[in-house]
Amino acid sequence: MATRSDTAAENGSRFLISDLCKMLESYLDEEQVQDVYRAYLFGAEAHEGQHRLSGEPYIYHPIAAARILAELRLDHKTIVAAILHDVIEDTPTAKEQIVSGFGADVAELVDGVSKLTQIEFESPAEAQAENFRKMILAMVRDIRVILVKLADRLHNMRTLGVMRPEKRRRIARETLDIYAPIANRLGINAVRVELEDLGFAALYPLRYKVLEKAVHEARGHRKEVLNKIETAIKRRVQQEGLQGRILSREKHLYSLYRKIRDKTLSFEEVYDVYAFRIVVDEIDTCYRALGIMHNLFKPVPGKFKDYIAIPKANGYQSLHSILFGPYGVPIEVQIRTEDMDKIAESGVAAHWVYKSSEEKVDQMHAGAREWLRELLEMQTHAGDSLEFLENVKLDLFPDAVYVFTPAGEIMKLPHGATVIDFAYAVHTDVGDTCIAAKIDRQLVPLRTVLRNGQTVEIVTAAGAHPSPAWLSFVVSAKARSNIRHYQKNLKREEAIELGRRMLERAMGVFETSVDQVSGKRLRALLKDYHLKTEEDLLVDIGMGRRPSVLVAQALAPTDHGNASSDETAVQQPLVIKGSEGMVTRFSKCCRPIPGDPVVGVITGGRGMMIHTQTCRNIADDKYPAENCIDVQWEPGIDEEFPVEVSVIVEDRRGVLARVATVIGDADSNIENVGIEERDGLSNNLLFTLTVHNRQHLARVMRRVRSIPAVIKITRTKG
């Protein structure tokens, strides 16, 4: 893999198409290399006259991206796509021209990497999210899409210095948040390390320089010691008759920075700044080499990890152990086979398997495809591109915890995962119907955070549903997206019900009903509103996006067309039950309860908010008149509603407990209490209570007022 030093070489003696073809000849057929050269001619003509900010002809960028993929020894179609990856987006070239010249596979790869430039977005964040969503969906169909995009991003990062500072920081942040983690998730370590260090240098240049200097100084001080350690390892390995390569490496700067930041360590407290890699022939030899190392240097307790028995999510396998080296220098030893080393550096690009059900797909490719399947499931549940991007970001930082199912199967979950995350990892239906859980046969709360080695059992019930409260403690993207998906469906059902009731009420003015509307008239209206179904129309009404009166006017028979102006036509108030759910909410500014005269306010996209008729927000004409509708309480409501009361009491010992006891005895629950000191002789107790209606509240207030220490009690509104 080329490094940043290659950038200087590129600027001096430019890496040309002839150099690329020479690289490709080492592993591709002559005919395939010719296809790459044809792609270069096509791309050079398409980009004719275009230049990058550095002033160089634009075609040098696609060639550089293709070089990165050639170093990973990818197939010729991926190399061709890398050379053509910007022609659809930045030139008049149509996708059909690429299909006719280079085939449908290449055209799909190029189209998958191209941004959505023809669509207007409300914000740059939304544009970024929608482009990312498009790329991910293309990546699900063909994983080579993301390999081309990673190569494109890596070369852009190498040449980031010509950008304006604010754009440089934005691109660096996006690289660290999205592209480097994707490279890590696919196991392409060589690309991931360089993306992280380049992003770190661009986003935090001062921190980068300070850390780079500290590592450089430590390297100088410890060079002799490290040489002695390497010599000792080589000598002992040879003495034991093991065949293998001994390599030394220094932890790259961004990884070092994250460890110092996340664990609040000093530079001296980081154990694995220096590591030695022992690469052997077989898995059995790895464990023999581990025993030799533990015999040579004393291991640090609790600092051994076996990624061979339990590989990382990206397929990475190796043995890791921190050792006490001579002179107090802590060192990390990594032991792996040649195949593991190859996979660790190149990931899914290590030995390309593409659309071949007959070939044996190794563990890492299977893991990558499983991840892509989960991404597809997440995007079908996400409400919009920004939410999808948020879910993918959550999924890209999986510091894993390993737990067991009752059958003994190992499950990998993100660090901090709870019982609910485990339930959704088993299956979406298990998560949706989860009601309880056992860890090591003991019942535990659903918000319990899991630890390595625990056995988790989920208890489900057929009629159970996800709780919105779960969103406050789940950490996995799969759990979060499924819970939100359920909430959205529930909200839609409630909006349909409210919209139907509001439309029926409005249709009553025209002496007709929704059921009497002709199908032809309804279809015509849906077409005018660009809606697909009657349910979509009802959702729009229930969520406040479309006034029910205007819809009723459009749906009413023509002979009732002027009924809205008829003085005898009176709209009946909309009846509310107090349990309508997420689309009907009760305002916190006035806390309406049954018995209060109320009014409904339609808020665009959020449903209906219920206020008292005397609420200051209504009186101040904060809402347009057409958004306010008459509502009334359904008789015999048996729900509980929060209400706020102020109780001024004498400053006596135990008065708060006395008031709280009386409130409880009056069948009211205290949700919250606050205390305000008034004049040193009295205090103001602010209670949020739950009551059934005004009569219940009056009964509570009478009982509180009878306490000798109570000076005054009033209901507060806002």
Task: Just list the catalytic residues.
Answer: 89-90
| Residue with the two structure tokens 């008239």 | 521
**What whole-number distance in Å separates Cα of residue 550 and Cα of residue 420?**
45
Nearest 5°: phi and psi at 202?
A: -80, -35
Closest by Cα among 640, 638, 577 to 608: 577
β partners of residue 306: 319
Amino acid at 83: I
Burial of residue 222 (CB within 10 Å: 0-12, 13-18, 19+) is: middle
CA separation for the pair 160, 199 (Å, rounded)? 9
Angstrom distance (rounded) from CA 315 to CA 187: 7
What are the φ and ψ backbone dihedral angles of 150, each rounded to 5 degrees? Answer: -65, -40
Query: How far is CA 561 from each of CA 506, 558, 647, rounded to the nearest angstrom?
Result: 13, 5, 55
Classified as helix, coil or strand, 405 is coil
Contact (Cβ atoms closer than 8 angstroms) between residue 450 and residue 419: yes
Give the Cα separation of 626 and 523 in Å (integer). 26
Structure tokens, 234: 């080589």
Q: CA distances (Å), 86 to each of 41, 175, 195, 392, in order?
A: 14, 19, 20, 25
Buried b vs exposed e over 69-82: b needs ≥16 C-beta within 10 Å? bbbbbbbbbbbbbb
Using an 8 Å Cβ cutoff, are 375 and 349 in contact?
no
d(Cα 441, Cα 433) in Å, to the nearest integer? 20
Structure tokens at 183: 């490279």
Q: Count of CB atoms within 10 A of residue 571's CB? A: 16
How far apart are the C-alpha atoms of 250 and 246, rounded to whole Å? Answer: 14
Instruction: Give 3-state DSSP helix, strand, coil % of the chain, rounded to 5.
Output: 50, 20, 30
Query: What are the tokens at 82?
Result: 């890398």
Q: Assign 524 to helix, strand or coil.
A: helix
CB 78 within 8 A of CB 148: yes
Cα–Cα distance measured from residue 268 to residue 259, given in angstroms and rounded to the nearest whole number:
12
Q: Which amino acid is at 502?
A: M
